[in-house]
C-alpha cells in the first residue's frame, strides 16, 4: 500500500532480528520513521509507527497509515 501510494519504504531482510537493531538499520539509511507489525497488530489489522527522531510511537490501522503519510508530507 505504501509503495503504491508513492511512499518510499524498505522491508528489513531478517524478521528474526530484534526491533532495536532494525531501528538502528533504518536510522543508518536515513529513514525518519519505522513501521512494526507483530502478531497482535496483524490480528488487529494495525501497525506501530515510530518516529525515529522523537522516539514517539503511535498505533494506526493499516487502512489509515498511507493517509497519515500523505497528510504529513
Per-residue confidence (pLDDT) for residue 61, from 0 to 100 = 97
Nearest CA-CA partner of 36 in 53, 25, 56, 22? 22
Per-residue confidence (pLDDT) for residue 72, from 0 to 100 = 84
Nearest CA-CA partner of 65 in 37, 43, 26? 37
> pTM value?
0.87
Tens of pLDDT, residue by residue over 1-36, are 999 999 999 999 898 899 999 999 999 999 999 999
Amino acid at each position: 500500500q505504501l509503495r503504491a501510494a508513492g511512499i518510499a519504504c524498505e522491508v528489513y531482510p531478517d524478521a528474526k532480528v530484534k526491533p532495536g537493531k532494525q531501528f538502528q538499520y533504518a536510522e543508518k539509511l536515513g529513514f525518519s520513521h519505522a513501521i512494526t507489525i507483530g502478531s497482535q497488530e496483524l490480528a488487529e489489522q494495525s501497525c506501530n509507527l515510530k518516529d525515529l527522531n522523537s522516539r514517539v510511537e503511535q498505533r494506526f490501522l493499516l487502512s489509515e497509515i498511507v493517509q497519515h503519510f500523505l497528510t504529513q508530507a
